[in-house]
Structure 1
């Protein structure tokens, strides 16, 4: 039994490594599509992706992997990693097997063309260019939901891909509490009469100087962009990886906005550090990645906002910024700190302030639910989008580019992803509460430039587990509690009441 078991385990790991090789090749081609690929290569690239996705489909749904599942699922004393591996591949097998192979390949090819159409539509600010492609993506996902089956709301089937176990009912409760708290605090901020100065951020900053300063910060964060990562530019900043030794991030530079690329650097580096920290032993198990998209976003938004927008962080880095950027001459630390934390309801999610950011996500969540449940037509999205922005944030998009076309996620069919961003805020604040219990002087250390202590705590408590634990199990393992909105709400109130001098 023991010899046969060990042989089966080796065979399983080798099989899963082959699957990882194909999936990494797909991810590499997708990265290249966003960073380097010439426009005329779209069709052929989509065919390449279609072919490789077909091969991935075959490995994910083969008789061999079914045999592995059946063999290991009857063994009750599996170690933690093997047990999680079998649960994971069984879940993916059952989901993937229900989609016909040819249809899955066509979907991947359509997603590649759709992503290219989105880029063109965004550049020309013309939703009609993207509309027929988005209709295809929605129809595919509606069909997949029916293949998979669902309990309660149809959208639950898509949520489960990115945040296993979460439901619309749970999110409605969390987001409802969060929305009410944000709206209440936002009202008090508006009544405060204080408006931090931000014009010094909109002077001219060369991309080269922005990159240089970003690297100074990333060196302290310990994202390795020299040996196991790299930095490139793309229309929409993102992180991708091909194992833990090749983790790449991108940003986008705006010469007249110092904050955009800077906080993209910090955000994406947060993702990158997570993936670089995944232990070698999890490679070849399909567990060598983040626990979920929400947990992943907790890491990036933790670094970007809780750390990167804290006064202690800038007590260390602002003197360096003053040396590099004469544009900040005469601006003291308090002005700078208030400026990067100014609250100003805006149109663009990725450029929004920390307080109102979650409202952008809630809008997308509500639209996605309506789309998947067939309650709204793709053709009506620009109008629906604009109405919700007026209602929730009091702003009106002037065109499609700054409205419904601002995000790339729908172009490749990533429905169910958006809630992860706001869930990441909640996870991050809950992790912070535990971190401060474990390291009471954590922010004193940050003020000295000691980000190693932050990195070590995150690695010890979150990163080293990869996807061994489901998100609901991980948050409870780390903090002793189920996910709640209270810690993020408390964090927001404490921070912004201090900045805006609200009692």
Structure 2
């Protein structure tokens, strides 16, 4: 193929990509609006709008023109003439094209509308603990997921296909081994802590007005480097971050007056996601590479900032005085007591409120149930009973209602099956990244204790953020740590931290 022809095809390909990214950005704004205050009466119609736009986006990505362009640009001579960015864009897009082409557009549109309606139904049913009203929506979502798996194909386990959507290359076999290694180390540690006298954390339930929580949340976001000129903070039912482009990355949180740490750490968590998205290289804007490379790598940043920095002693040596000044309700609480309280280990019902140590057990519950559902070993109608049994087995506690149990997460209503393992993978990536960063930045603790986050953010940007999806998850962790993912970094970090806190 002549170079002029290659260039012409590349330009047309980039035009299509830019158009697709425009649709994605519009859909991102619509989704954000639906979850942050859109009028309830308009949500059903909005779901239809989302369905139409999503289908148009889907059609663009699976069009015959896109297929012809990808095929031509994938030919060896043409491919080798492309820049590294364009090669990676074509490779990723072809994988997505081949996968999406197997889904009929009309089936996809019905699914998108259903998923949007299911999320709205979940929001209404959760506070009422009403699983039976929500069940038909979830049954349909699960049915669509199974149809997609059959269309996409699979080798060893049906669930592998869903895992690969969020963490390329991940399989049930690999994940079972990783979770097994975590259980072996963490269960004895949790048991040892359970034998210690419980910490007095009653002051954490003091009522803190929403406005004070909001002010401190905004302050902390600015301190860690979140750019408010390229984002905003809003309340929602289930916190999330939306990256429309590096110049517009929005963060949400949930304020609970008698549980101020919920908003505080949710804000830092979502802020970690946002720092990733705000610092992607400008050269990737308008391409399919202008996003995080995988859910696991994305979660590594939210968990790193929330837990490994945000719950660390150096962090609160710097910011506890500010918290007390802005939140006088904590004026009589000593720093040591506060530090131990935000790192308390206690079996809990809610995943988003779980401590670092038991968090992975919450993920294992969901992982086990998802595998059963997708392999026809569990029916949606039996999900609440199975959920409660798993919580009893893994955490020794049982939900008193569905709001605190099977209805607590939004993910399944939107079809996010295969997503939950990303949280645990994020913890593992984060611990390995932290070890590498501490080695590269000997003044790490001193910088955190002084509120100097510029060196940390610069290092993360150089190693992770700026690359977007240009690097694969394996390439990212090798770029950071010079090795593949190793779960022992997480267990070593947790053992050291919690043995010190609980004096084991």
Are the equivalent residues in 2 in contact too, given 1:220–1:452 (CA < 8 A)? no
CA distance in 1, matches of 2:304, 2:56: 37
Report whether the alignment pairs 1:116 with 2:115: no
Pairing 1:302–2:304 present = yes
Aligned residue for 1:230? 232
Alpha-carbon shift at residue 471 of structure 1 (Å): 0.7
What is the SS of the residue equivalent to 2:291?
Answer: coil
Do the aligned partners of 2:74 and 2:90 also contact (CA within 8 Å) in 1? Answer: yes
Matched, 1:128 2:132: yes
Give the 3-state SS of the residue equivalent to 1:440 in structure 2.
coil
Partner Cα separation in structure 2 for residue 45 and residue 348 of structure 1: 30
Count of aligned residue pairs for this structure pair = 500
Q: 1:215 aligns with which of 209, 213, 218?
A: 218
Determine the C-alpha separation between the residues in 2 that align with 1:160 and 1:475: 17
* Offset at residue 203 of structure 1 (A): 0.7
Q: State the distance in 2 between where 1:284 and 1:190 align.
A: 51
Cα distance between partner residues in 1 of 2:286 and 2:326: 44
SS at match of 2:103: coil
Contact 2:438–2:444 (CA under 8 A) maintained in structure 1: yes
- In the TM superposition, residue 24 of structure 1 has moved relative to its aligned partner by 1.5
Bigger shift: 407-416 or 240-249?
240-249
Q: Say whether 1:84 aligns with 2:88.
A: yes
Within the candidate set 371, 378, 381, 2:380 is matched to: 378
Contact 1:118 1:129 (C-alpha < 8 Å) held by counterparts: no
The residue number in structure 1 matching 2:421 is 419
Residues of 2 paired with 1:387 and 1:180: CA distance? 21
Which residue of structure 2 lines up, in the alignment, with residue 345 of structure 1? 347
SS in 1 for 2:245: coil
Counterpart mapping for 1:99-498 below 5 A: 99-191=103-195, 193-225=196-228, 227-498=229-500
Which has the larger displacement, 9-18 or 411-420?
Answer: 9-18
Distance 1:70 1:326 in 2: 63
- TM superposition shift of 1:190: 1.6
Partner SS for 1:249:
strand
How far apart are the structure 2 equivalents of 1:117 and 1:326?
39
Show structure 1 runs of 5+ residues with no match. none
The alignment partner of 1:123 has SS state of: coil
For residue 76 of structure 1, report the CA deviation from its aligned partner: 4.4
Unaligned runs of 5+ in 2: none
TM-score after normalising by structure 2? 0.98
The question of whether the paired residues in 1 share the 8 Å contact of 2:118 and 2:137 is answered with yes
Q: Which residue of 1 aligns with 2:36?
A: 35
Preserved contact between residue 247 and residue 276 of structure 1 (Cα < 8 Å): yes
Q: 1:84-137 CA distances to partner (integer Å, 9 max, x unpaired)?
A: 101111011011110011000000000011111111110211101110000000
Partners of 2:458 and 2:479 lie apart in 1 by 17
Taking the aligned partners of 2:268 and 2:8, their CA distance within structure 1 comes to 43
Query: In 2, are the aligned partners of 1:312 and 1:446 still within 8 Å (CA)?
Result: yes
Structure 1 residue 376, shift from structure 2 partner? 0.2
Q: Is the 8 A contact 2:387 2:405 kept in 1?
A: yes
- The structure 1 segments of at least 4 consecutive aligned residues displaced by more than 6 Å after TM superposition are none
SS at the partner of 2:427? helix
Secondary structure at the aligned position of 1:356 is classed as helix
Q: Do the aligned residues in 1 keep the contact of 2:218 with 2:233 (CA within 8 Å)?
A: no
Contact 1:120 1:129 in 2 (8 A): no
CA contact (8 A) 1:14 1:284 kept: no
- How far apart, in 2, do the equivalents of 1:50 and 1:190 lie? 49
* 1: CA distance, partners of 2:331 / 2:417: 45
Q: Could you tell me how far 1:271 is from its partner in structure 2?
A: 0.5
Which residue in 1 is equivalent to 2:45?
A: 44
Q: How far does the alpha carbon of each residue in 1:25-47 deviate from its partner, in whole angstroms, 9 at most, with x for none?
A: 11211111111222222221111
Given that residues 381 and 404 in structure 1 are in contact (C-alpha distance below 8 angstroms), is that contact kept between their aligned partners in structure 2?
yes
SS at structure 1 position matched to 2:158: coil
Counterpart for residue 98 of structure 1: 102
TM-score (norm 1): 0.98
Q: What corresponds to 1:3 in structure 2?
A: 4
The CA distance in 1 between the partners of 2:339 and 2:244, in whole Å, is: 36
> In structure 1, how many angstroms separate the alpha carbons of the residues matched to 2:16 and 2:329?
55
> What whole-Å deviation, never above 9, does each CA across 1:449-479 have from its counterpart, x for those lacking one?
1112211111010001000111122112221
Q: Cα RMSD over matched residues?
A: 1.1
CA contact (8 A) 2:102 2:151 kept: yes
Q: How big is the shift at 1:328?
A: 1.7
**3-state SS, counterpart of residue 386 of structure 1:** helix
Alpha-carbon contact 1:294-1:424 (below 8 Å) kept: yes
Q: C-alpha separation between the residues in 1 aligned to 2:389 and 2:455?
A: 45
Q: Distance in 2 between matches of 1:215 and 1:27?
A: 22
Partner of 2:67: 66
Distance in structure 1 (CA, Å) of the matches to 2:281 and 2:92:
18
